Structure 1
Amino acid sequence: MENTPSFVVIYGRRRVGKTRLLVEFSRGKKVFFRTFMEGTKESQVKSLAGELADFFNDEVFLSFSDWYPLFKYLSGKINEKTLLVFDEFTYAVKSDKGILSTLQRAWDHELSNKPVMLVLSGSLMGMMEDEVLSHSSPLYGRRTAGFRLRPLRLFPSLRFFKDFTEGLKFYMLLGGIPAYLIIASRYKTVGEFVEGEFLTPEGYFYDEPYIVLSELRELKTYFSILSAMATGRRKPSVIASSVGLEGRRIYPYLETLIRLGFVERELPVVGKERRGLYKISDPMLMSWFSLVYPNRTRIELGTMTLDEVGETLQKIFSFRFEEVSREFLIELNRTGKLPFRFTKIGRWWYKGEEIDAVALNEKEKEVLFVEVKWEDLSEGEGRGILRDLERKAELVGLKGWEKSYGLIGKRVEGKGELRDEGWLVWDLKDFKRFGK
């Protein structure tokens, strides 16, 4: 940390690891670390003043009852490189939006002249974007650095687990949230984990969406929307109908969920379709709305068994394995282990036909079509899938392009023979080998 003053903003969804990152960054530095919680403005100011009094061993801090004189006096105490961390800053904003203009004033006139790094972090994504980062925020233009902390990707997540295949299943259920992966790593099997953490009222994940989605108003409506998506309803009109909303009224809800990173709008990677489909992009929410939400009464009664959600688990794995396989292809692309470098990847669908992954280099007119199956496949089954993939690829309409065809499965017998025939074939052994 240099003497040049800096103003850093870090944000990301709950449990993604912001506080842990800041704690690690703080090591070996002179740091004042304050984590805000729910409270009134008066209690927030009083609590912050008390912590500053302890940190600087100066009881004058206790005499302040408003933000600006407190920040002004704080600035006068900084004479050497100091890190100021205001963790979960959005709770201070919730208690009093006036802290934004007050902090802006303190930064402009006092703190920016000091050898200080000020870090604001927050988990209430909407509030961070609207109140701290937006053009209309008093703090706009002050930050010298900032980023949105995102979940871990596939292979870093798998390092939490000793068993590769079980680790992959955990990742498909939970995504790359470190706090979730740490809890999952205590279990030997996914079955034990689901039974202990999803299907019991005392489980860690039993009420987790209520915490993750707590900043949303009309929570019942959002839950109904996410539940509809988890059961395969992906068109806006169908989602709206299942929730009981008029068609166009669904879009503000969908846009909010997209902005917060919980839902994704998907368009075919090739074609003129612009209406799009919507899906849950947060793996934990997908798992919860599939496993817990429709079964809460029986879970509360203690009569829900793991066997009864076995088929649902397989549906989750099948759905998520497509997404994980696209991550795998992106890693292969990054390391130059594909026939060409693609610049775009996604799904394709049209009139009941679908291809799980289509990767394109539009400049060179090269394309890779890949089918994904969460199954153990024989050589004959694999060949049949690849030949049908060739048929579907013709429907995409990329005439004159150089085409390649691939298959990803849990286990593919005879993949060497299929490769000798010119197909690209991978299974979990290739995932494991690549991840080492």
Structure 2
Amino acid sequence: MSGFVGRSRELAILTSLLETVRTGRRADPGVALTLRGRRRVGKSRMVDEFLRRTDVPSVYFQAARHAPLADELAELTRAVVGSTLPDAVAAAGTAPTTVTAALTLLAAALPADTPSVVVVDELPWLLERVPGGAGELQRVWDTRLSKKPVLLLLLGSDLAMMEHLLAADQPFHGRATEMVLDPLTPTDVATMTGLSAAAAFDAHLVTGGLPLVVQEWEPQDSVESFLRRSFASSTSALVVAGGRSLDSEFPATTPARQVLTALGGRGERTFGGIQGADRADGFNATTLTTTLRTLTGKRVVEVDEPLSARPAPRNRRYRLADPALRFWLAFVEPALGEVDRGRPDLAMDRVHAGFGAWRGRAVEPVVRQALGRLLPDDRWPVTRVGGWWPRSNVPEVDLVGMTGDHGVGFVGTVKWRTAPLTTTDVDALARDALAVPGVQVGTPLVGVCPGGTAADGLATVWDADDLLRAWA
């Protein structure tokens, strides 16, 4: 595959904002937008495509993590000098020593009578080196940048820091539009690969929706053929993407990386399971609590609680928020040595042994997300979709749909396979459902299965095509 595919909604938003700058429909000519999303999700690539399509004067600066401030300010100045801004030459020979001075220099180079675009990529990495840096950004924006017809795009991979930038108690609050760039949806993956709905979900689970990885999926590739080709090269996008994303934020020896490995690589979900995962002495409870709090604060880890008529916050589970890391930690990282020595067959043996069980678990949050987008509808007045489990984890119910704070609208099972649901599956669901607080004898039973159903007793069965419409 080649060329840029997808992101039409986001590109339309950027184009609309640039048109707002062009027409001067706001009190100040300038417009700011913050764009946050995980590393490798395609923020920079999308903005590059936007700049290519708009063909207006622009400057693009990308901050480097942990770089000395003087080096960063010098690099920002070089970016201005080398840009397509008509007055860029005015910045030549200057050496700003503060963020305020550098941004003031930038503002002076912006045209006053024609639209331009300024991109600051990885803004948190620049501001983390400067106490009060957000205040400096706010001051120069208010006094200089916003007075020019400019679209200021502030990009960042640290989701928590980008959210904090616009918090009510922060200087830049209320000054920018927010945009979140998520991984490609299963529908996007289906469009890019030409796969059937069920196969597109499998491709989404394997690639995590990362554009660079999905672009290496050849037409009519199966999971098997895609993985064999990817494991045959140590420079394939699938092999490289996860490591680069993790190593930049969570080096291998840190507690955070070890927690992520326990979650993604070993499938642990409970506090106790993570605490004892593959360590001779286990995690110290205080250290693990602090680490999980940090990872959830950074939006890297998500916390799930069983959904029913009776809240059970003590039975919480943890999972990776980044879909791209789920497959990478489970199957790619353990195979890196085999890939490097040219043994993709050994990496595939690991996939053959564990992919089915892994997929059954990994698809559940995707299914719940899809149903959360599809519902409520005319039949199901469901406003929340989750799962349920007791402290013992027996039984587990894949789907619980709530109609209010305490009303259980349905309970369901997820079987991600080509074979249809059977009477045995329905009977097992009916037995397990009775353990869910709020479920009554007449509570509807539902199912999710690409193969549909060959059994009676289910009020609704959603297949892969039904779910794919959630992102249409």
User: Smaller-chain TM-score range?
Assistant: 0.7 to 0.9
Partner Cα distance (1:331, 1:127) in 2: 27
Q: Quick one: which of 174, 186, 203 aligns to 1:154?
A: 186
Distance of 1:184 and 1:355 partners within structure 2: 34
Does structure 1 retain, via aligned residues, the 8 Å contact 2:446–2:458?
no
Q: Given residue 107 of structure 1, which amino acid in structure 2 is its aligned partner?
A: W
Deviates more, 1:270-279 or 1:289-298: 289-298
Which residue does 1:426 correspond to in 2? 462
Distance 2:174 2:407 in 1: 44
Please list, as runs of the form range in 1=range in 2, the aligned pairs for 1:163-178 lying within 5 A after superposition: 163-164=195-196, 165-178=198-211
Aligned amino acid, residue 287 of structure 2? R
- Give CA deviations for 1:290-348 in whole Å, capped at 9, x if unaligned: 113334433333332423421222122211232232234234425x26x2221111010
Residue 256 (str. 1) matches residue 294 (str. 2) = yes
User: What is the SS of the residue equivalent to 2:119?
Assistant: strand
Unmatched runs of 5 consecutive residues or more in structure 1: none
Q: SS of the residue aligned with 2:204?
A: helix
User: Given the superposition, is the C-alpha separation of residues 100 and 403 from structure 1 closer, same or farther in structure 2, using an over 3 Å criterion?
Assistant: same
Give the SS at the match of 1:410. Answer: coil
Structure 2 counterpart of 1:241: 276
TM-score normalised to structure 2 length: 0.80
Aligned with 2:311 (options 272, 284, 291): 272
The structure 2 residue matched to 1:75, chosen from 100, 107, 113, is 107
Report 1:31-430 matches (<5 A).
Answer: 31-38=57-64, 39-54=67-82, 55-66=85-96, 67-77=99-109, 78-80=111-113, 81-93=115-127, 96=130, 99-129=133-163, 132-134=165-167, 139-141=171-173, 143-164=175-196, 165-185=198-218, 188-198=221-231, 200-217=233-250, 219-220=252-253, 221-230=255-264, 231-242=266-277, 243=279, 244-270=282-308, 271-275=310-314, 276-303=316-343, 304-333=346-375, 336=377, 339-350=379-390, 351=392, 352-362=394-404, 365-377=407-419, 382-398=422-438, 403-412=443-452, 414=454, 418=456, 423-428=459-464, 430=466
Secondary structure of the structure 1 residue equivalent to 2:318 = strand
Deviation at 1:377, TM superposition (A): 3.7
- Aligned-partner Cα distance in 1 for 2:369–2:169: 36
Which of residues 14, 17, 34 is equivalent to 1:9? 34
Three-state SS of the structure 1 residue aligned to 2:402 is strand
Answer yes or no: is the 8 Å Cα contact 2:400–2:411 preserved in 1.
yes
Local SS of the residue matching 1:340 = coil
* Greater per-residue strand proportion: 1
**Identical positions, percent:** 22
- Whether the 8 Å contact between 2:36 and 2:156 is mirrored in structure 1 is yes
CA distance in 2, matches of 1:171, 1:10: 23
Greater CA deviation, 309-318 or 56-65? Answer: 56-65
Aligned residues of 1:10 and 1:147 also touching (Cα < 8 A):
yes
Q: Deviations over 1:113-155 (max 9, x none)?
A: 333332211223354345x345675x43252312332223332
Q: CA deviation at 1:160?
A: 1.5
Q: Quickly say closer, same or farther: Cα 1:9–1:384, change in 2 above 3 A.
A: same
Give, in angstroms, the shift of residue 172 of structure 1: 1.6
Query: SS of the counterpart of 1:34?
Result: strand
Could you report, residue by residue, the CA deviation over 1:363-393 in whole angstroms, capped at 9, with x for unpaired residues? 7945111101123445xx6222112212222
- Give the deviation of 1:349 after TM superposition: 0.9
Deviation string 1:186-212 (CA, Å, 9 cap, x unpaired) is 671211222232464333232433321
Q: Distance in 2 between matches of 1:45 and 1:422?
A: 63
Aligned residues: 426
- Are the equivalent residues in 2 in contact too, given 1:359–1:367 (CA < 8 A)? yes
> What's the TM-score once normalised by structure 1's chain length?
0.86
CA distance in 2, matches of 1:135, 1:396: 40
C-alpha spacing 1:377/1:128, structure 2 compared with 1 (3 Å)? same
Name the CA distance, whole Å, in 1 between partners of 2:156 and 2:192: 25
Tell me the SS of whatever aligns to 1:193: helix
**In 2, distance between residues paired with 1:45 and 1:68?**
10
CA distance in 1, matches of 2:56, 2:233: 44
Give the whole-Å Cα distance in 2 for the aligned partners of 1:25 and 1:52: 19
Counterpart CA distance in 2 for 1:434 and 1:207 is 30
Residues 214 and 301 of structure 1: is their aligned pair in 2 closer, same or farther, counting only changes over 3 Å?
closer
Aligned partners of 1:260 and 1:305: how far apart in 2? 31
SS of equivalent residue, structure 1 residue 310? helix
Q: Alpha-carbon deviations, 1:247-270, whole Å to 9, x = none?
A: 231122212222333321111011
Q: Give the whole-Å Cα distance in 2 for the aligned partners of 1:21 and 1:74.
A: 23
Tell me if the contact between 1:88 and 1:123 (Cα under 8 Å) persists in the aligned partners. yes
CA contact (8 A) 1:157 1:171 kept: yes
Please state how far the C-alpha of 1:97 moved relative to its aligned partner.
5.3
C-alpha distance in structure 2 between counterparts of 1:324 and 1:73, whole Å: 46
SS for the counterpart of 1:356 is strand
